[in-house]
Amino acid sequence: MTFPDRAADRSAGHVPGRAVDRVPLRVGVFGLLGSGNLGNDGSLEAVLGYLRTEHPEAHVDALCGGPEAVTARYRIPATRLHWYRGEYRTASRAGAIAGKGLGKLVDAVRTAAWVRRHDVVIVPGMGVLEATLPLRPWGFPYALFLLCASGRLFGTRVALVGVGAAPIRDRATRALVRWSARLAAYRSYRDALSREAIRGMGVDTARDEVYPDLAFALPTPPVPEDSGAPRPVCVGVMAFHGGNDDRARAEEIHRRYLDGTIRFVRALVADGRPVRLLVGDDVDLPVVAAIREAVGSPLVTAAEPASLADLMRETAAADTVVATRYHNLVCALKAGTPTLALSYAAKSDALMDRMGLGEYCHPAREVDADRLIQQFRALERRSAELRRTLAERNRAATRLLERQFAALTAAVLTAGHTRTDAPARVLREAP
């Protein structure tokens, strides 16, 4: 799809209920989408569902990590986020280092040109303002800064919708995240901790709102009919090596996490319980293989989800879920299945608390299989009660996300919207 130059018509937009007789709204979506992370793609799917329902006239395309996958799955044009294809591989040779350096310059031009063709760019969910997993400042944080700075330069409204944030110790990463948040035209967060983290970085969040994770806007899968066979315990695993500040201890953390999870799965199998292993990203697959090899039981099987909807169907069919990845937890809670979190960040604790299961969290950095089994059994004893609690919390989440999308329409997707202050004013606010 070819977009006209943004300068040709800066008044393009849509007012619900009014006939569209101007150039259709040009909306871009941005992020590490189509790259194997099901949570990121689920957030994109929720936003695309909203756009197709509320703004069907909009022309939508993506600047993303996996353009081929995004185009194939979601039927929208997509452009690769980084010019240098080895952006997220460690560069040790001179050629790779030079390629990455040149890529930063090329990406500045490519991103600016892409942004200029749009009226609005949406960053759908994801933990784009955090560093709870290993992250280098000149990777995605730099890409997000280029996006938000280009939006201010060309008058394109950049909306960070339902994003995650967390305190960041690394100075360069923190600076890029702070500038990105300041330059965005609209911000909302998936929990109050995220808003507080951004406020702590010196960004005025007085008008920013908190809503449930965007994945709660996806359709709820039906609970399968009882076939008489025992339902599995779904165990969502992760290639967990700690966070950005744990690089020196990454292998030790991973070994402890893997050993504790293997012991937990063995205990379930010893009780005759079928176990279904889940992932949320392609990088988790070696963990699944390691657990299956170590336990060596036909009771342990592995799912092969291709989407967040697939993950939700798996969790809906489960008796109970124990999971690590944030969006594995979201899927299980959205499906209404009693869930225990192997929590690696405050966002997981906040999610569980919001859904009424705050007492069922266990630290992923220090998995104690014996204590985990005790928590699991306590969770199962309250299964019927917790299913009722989750049904109620899910209804509330649906209502709040309807407000989120209405607020997004009013803030950045309707004609006559007043643009944010000029870049010079924002630059003067920097410390």
* Cβ atoms within 10 Å, residue 384: 8
CA dist 325 and 316 (Å) reads: 17
Please count the helices (runs of H) and the strands (runs of E) in the chain: 14, 13
Helix, strand, or coil (residue 100): helix
CB 40 within 8 A of CB 280: no
CB 237 within 8 A of CB 291: yes
Phi, psi of 63 (to 5 degrees): -115, 110
CA-only gyration radius of the chain, Å: 22
CB 369 within 8 A of CB 263: yes
For residue 137, CA distances in Å to 13, 176, 242 come to 35, 7, 17
| Structure-block tokens of residue 55 | 């703004």
Same fold across 10-210+397-428 and 233-381: yes
Q: Say yes or no: domain 10-210+397-428 is CATH 3.40.50.2000.
A: yes
Q: Where are the beta strands (DSSP E) in 137-268?
A: 157-163, 186-189, 209-210, 233-236
Domain locations in the chain as residue ranges: 10-210+397-428, 233-381
Pairing of strands 361-363, 339-343: parallel
Run of H or E including 275: strand 275-278
Contacts of 358 (CB under 8 A, 6+ apart): 349, 352
What DSSP string describes 11-80?
T----TTS---SSPPEEEEEES-SSSBHHHHHHHHHHHHHHHHH-TT-EEEEEES-HHHHHHHH---EEE
| Structure-block tokens of residue 74 | 């979601």
**In terms of residues, how long is the chain?**
431
| Structure-block tokens of residue 67 | 């353009």
| Structure-block tokens of residue 327 | 């969006």
Query: Among residues 302, 300, 304, 362, which one has the least CA distance to residue 329?
Result: 362
Amino acid identity for residue 386 in this structure: L
Give pLDDT, residue 248. 84
CB 416 within 8 A of CB 16: no
Contacts of 197 (CB under 8 A, 6+ apart): 129, 130, 165, 166, 167, 168
* 233-381: CATH class: alpha beta
For residue 52, CA distances in Å to 49, 120, 211, 308 come to 5, 15, 21, 19
Query: Among residues 319, 323, 336, which one has the least CA distance to residue 273?
Result: 319
> Which residues make beta-bridge pairs with 421?
none
Phi, psi of 296 (to 5 degrees): 60, 45
Phi, psi of 116 (to 5 degrees): -60, -25
**Residue segments in the chain with a per-residue pLDDT below the cut of 50:** 1-21, 91, 415-431
CB 6 within 8 A of CB 118: yes
Helix 326-334 and helix 38-54: axis angle, to 10°? 50
CB 325 within 8 A of CB 39: yes
Burial of 290 (0-12, 13-18, 19+ CB in 10 A): middle
